[in-house]
Structure 1
């Protein structure tokens, strides 16, 4: 059970509610804060001019709204802004944005009646997912269009998904004994004016990116084993003199994963402590960058993921609507907390980092495919008859084209502001677009890593290296081999790719799921992502 409004929500809370379906409850403290905010605003707005309660919205804020029309104003806002287009957002995104909006309301700075929070929490707990469409948000004045679709369902209109089936929300509420929200005062603007859509999507992206990084560390480690790489490139001694936390942490994890490997080798044993007499050294002195520079490449990616997590968690726990109702000072403050630049910039940075991660995977994959580079595998890791069988050749085209798409998607969204709303919103964040494009790159990268993993499995079997793998990499090899058995004859590959992709998308929160406790203790290491 995740309690809203008591402590700062964490990435663990997002994981538990969004991916594990854990229920939420609203603390008494939060209920009291919301009710106090609502009562204060109701009284304050009787004499003061408050944006969005007794005025119009945006450039029409100069128009005063009569008392008898103020409730209709909120309904009009919700219905008119339920104007999205494109595909429905994935249910994980919608559950995450619902949690983000509930967190915002629970702070007691929105002037929204607690009924809205109660209905929202009931929908989360009953796994009712509002229809929210992907296109519509410009990310300043918040995610108005996406959140309007959420608000539309709260008032019992629009459509929702139950068990994957789209149903009119009115019927869903009737079947689940939920009374639609009745507008009390500010429930239109208070529900849609904020960054909850981009934040919700961004938090899911962070969790998925962490998982991708774990798999990339795994692929990098097992490739080091396949080519019998030297240990110094991930050694503490080498990486501790480069003052970047991410690099040092990646190196420490690699040390942990490969601590009991029988394949990697110490440089001193081969090049330092014996006489080298030949003019042309047959044994490779240094590995290719895609093997040797893994801590330096994945380190900044880890740092980027961690910073994106910090920023999106801060946004999750922030008050991000307008105006802000401050009961303590008995005043209402107008400003721009709805502006999504923090999230938008982090999603652009995260997208760049994941694209670079996919490029590393593609280069490692190319190294395995090209026998002239690796010097120990067949072309395309072909376990069949050369010439007659094609091995992994066809899958490389898919990986290469997918990485190319990632590269083309990786230009910044954050800087592509377009003025709108009669130029009232003259500079905007495009945060939801940034988050959705980041997710596209993440999904693409899962496909690349799935192809990479199948190729690695074939390489292990060709080299008969199963017994020389570390305890952890060997365990993951055996798990993956249950999905994709050894194959020599050519077969249809897309089904195998999808099966592996589905497996690796199963998120675990303990990040370094590769490193079981017994292995970590044996290695004397505590490194985690």
Structure 2
């Protein structure tokens, strides 16, 4: 169980709920905060003009809503904005989004009835996934359209995925004996007016992005062993002469893992001896940048991922709707905490970073494919008959084209504001788009990494260089070989690519990154 308290949700807790299926329990403190906020707002709003309770929404806020119509106003908002389009958002992302919305509403700043929080807990704990679409949000008044679809199922309407089937929400709730939420005050606006979908997708993005870094480091380690690399590229002395924590961390991981390899060399053992009689060195004095500059490249990416995780956890633990209920000061404050700039900008940085990771993987694949570069392998890591068989030639095209798509997708969304809503939303974040496009970039990168890992194990078998591998490289080699046996004859590889990709997505080769 993961207990959700007041502003206490962390990355580990989110990971446990989304990926490990742990259930949520609400703390007594949380319940007290929500109930106190709801009671205060109910009393405070009786003789005052409060946006979204007794006014219209957006540019129609100048119209007062009569008391008899105020609850129907919330239902109208939910139903009218359930207007998404495109592909359904993945169950993992929707679950993370529900966690984010539940946590925000639990902070005591929203004035919602407790049932808005408890029904989200029931959806999460019972693996009920609302049908929410990728297209619709501009990330300004939050994820209005996507969160409207969430609110729609909370009131017992719309559709949900349950046990692999898309079904009417009302049927599933009846089957599980869950009471739909009823609007008591402002639950429609409070649920919809926030950044929780972009944040939920963003959190899942950041977890997968870190995993992609782990596999990139593992791939680099295996190639370094393949080419009998020198270890000083990853030494503490060299990498601590530059003051970036990410670079130091990546270098340290590689250096420590290659410590038990029989193939990694010390520069002192060859090039630092007397070589005065030599005019040409057969061994490379330095490897290509795609190997020796990995700490500098991947360190930058790692720091970007860590920063995104920090910011996204802050966002999940923030009040991001409007207006904000301040029980302590006995006031209701109007503003723009729903604006998704922090998440949008962070997603753009993340997708640029992970695109660079896919570019690194593509260059390392190219190194393995080209004998003029590696000096060790036949063309395309081909274990078959040259000219007759093709080895990894076909999948290199896939890796190259997929990396090129990433380069195009990494154009920032953050700067693509388009005014809408009668210019009430005259500058927007496009955070939801930024998050969904980043997901595509990360998914693409795992495809390139899958191709790289298969190419690496084929190459290691070609040069019969597996017995002396480091323990970590042996572990990764065996994992891939359990999915894709060594092959000499050509065959349609696409199903094995998908299997390796799935394995990479679900497993972490490096602990405590």
Return structure 1 stretches of 4+ with deviation > 4 angstroms: none
Q: Which residue of 2 aligns with 1:523?
A: none
Instruction: Give CA deviations for 1:301-320 in whole Å, capped at 9, x if unaligned.
Output: 00100000011010011000
- In structure 2, do the counterparts of structure 1 residues 432 and 258 end up closer, same or farther at CA, with 3 Å as the change threshold? same
CA-CA distance at 1:4 after TM superposition: 1.5
**Unpaired segments ≥5 residues, structure 1:** 516-527
Paired with 1:486 and 1:153, the residues of 2 have a C-alpha distance of 49
**Residue 422 of structure 1: aligned partner:** 422
Q: For the Cα contact (< 8 Å) 2:339–2:428, is it kept in 1?
A: yes
In structure 2, the residue matched to 1:520 is: none
For the Cα contact (< 8 Å) 1:476–1:514, is it kept in 2? Answer: no
**Higher alpha-carbon deviation: 6-15 or 372-381:** 6-15
Alpha-carbon deviations, 1:160-181, whole Å to 9, x = none? 0001210000001000001111
Specify the alignment match of 1:249 in structure 2: 249
Q: CA separation of 1:231/1:408 partners in 2, compared to 1, >3 Å: closer, same or farther? A: same
Pairs within 5 Å for 1:222-233:
222-233=222-233
Partner residue, 2:510: 514
Deviation string, structure 1 residues 177-199 (Cα, Å, up to 9, x no partner): 01111110011001110000000
Displacement of 1:405 in angstroms is 0.3
Kept in 2, the 8 Å contact 1:37–1:327? The answer is: yes
How far 1:275 moved relative to its partner?
2.9
For residues 176-195 of structure 1, the aligned pairs below 5 Å read 176-195=176-195
| Shift in Å, 1:6 | 4.0
SS in 2 for 1:391: coil
Moved more, 276-285 or 92-101: 276-285
Residue of structure 1 in register with 2:221 after alignment: 221
Counterpart position of 2:327: 327
Shift of the 164–276 alpha-carbon distance from structure 1 to 2, 3 Å rule, reads: farther
C-alpha offsets along residues 349-401 of structure 1, whole Å, 9 cap, x if unaligned? 00000000000000000000001110010100000111111000000000000
Spell out, residue by residue over 1:387-429, the C-alpha distance to the aligned partner (whole angstroms, 9 max, x if none).
1110000000000000000001110000000001100000000
Aligned residue number for residue 23 of structure 1: 23
TM-score (norm 1): 0.96
How does 1:375-524 map onto structure 2 within 5 Å?
Answer: 375-508=375-508, 513-514=509-510
Question: How far apart are the structure 2 equivalents of 1:71 and 1:272?
Answer: 81
Return the alpha-carbon distance in structure 2 between the equivalents of residues 274 and 360 of structure 1: 35
Q: In structure 2, what is the equivalent of residue 235 of structure 1?
A: 235
Tell me if the contact between 1:262 and 1:469 (Cα under 8 Å) persists in the aligned partners: yes
Instruction: Indicate conservation of the 8 Å contact 1:473/1:514, yes or no.
Output: no
Who is 1:116 aligned against? 116
| 1:478 Cα offset (Å) | 1.2
Q: Secondary structure at the match of 2:205?
A: helix
Q: Tell me by how many angstroms 1:151 deviates.
A: 0.4
**Structure 2 SS opposite 1:413:** coil
CA distance in 1, matches of 2:389, 2:360: 27
Structure 2 Cα separation of the partners of residues 472 and 221 of structure 1 = 9
Q: 1:448 to 1:166 in 2, by over 3 A?
A: same
Determine whether 1:362 maps to 2:362.
Answer: yes
Tell me the equivalent position of 1:521.
none
Q: 1:386 to 1:74 in 2, by over 3 A?
A: same
Q: Is the 8 A contact 2:7 2:107 kept in 1?
A: no
Residues 143, 195 of structure 2: 8 Å contact kept: yes
Shift of 1:282: 1.2
Moved more, 493-502 or 4-13: 4-13
Q: Does 2:46 match 1:51?
A: no
Secondary structure in 1 aligned to 2:47?
coil
Alignment map for 1:260-271 (pairs within 5 Å): 260-271=260-271
Alignment of 1:269-348 (within 5 A): 269-348=269-348
Residue 254 (structure 2) pairs with residue 258 (structure 1): no
CA RMSD in angstroms, aligned pairs only? 0.9
Q: Distance in 1 between matches of 2:189 and 2:227?
A: 60
CA distance in 1, matches of 2:169, 2:158: 6
- C-alpha distance in 1 between matches for 2:471 and 2:319: 47
Following superposition, the deviation at residue 71 of structure 1 comes to 0.4
Contact 1:94 1:200 in 2 (8 A): yes
Rounded Cα–Cα distance in structure 2 between residues aligned with 1:318 and 1:6: 10
Q: Secondary structure at the match of 2:506?
A: coil
Q: 1:14: how far off? A: 1.4
Contact 1:359 1:403 in 2 (8 A): yes
Q: Deviations over 1:70-120 (max 9, x none)?
A: 000000010001010011100000000000000001101101000111111
Q: CA deviation at 1:274?
A: 3.3
Q: Quote the Cα distance in structure 1 between the aligned partners of 2:176 and 2:276.
A: 78
Unaligned 5+ residue runs, structure 2?
Answer: none
Matched residue SS, 1:412: coil
Q: Shift of the alpha carbon at 1:507?
A: 4.3
Q: Does the Cα contact within 8 Å between 1:3 and 1:26 map onto a contact in 2?
A: yes
Aligned pairs (5 A) from 1:166-185: 166-185=166-185
CA contact (8 A) 2:7 2:317 kept: no
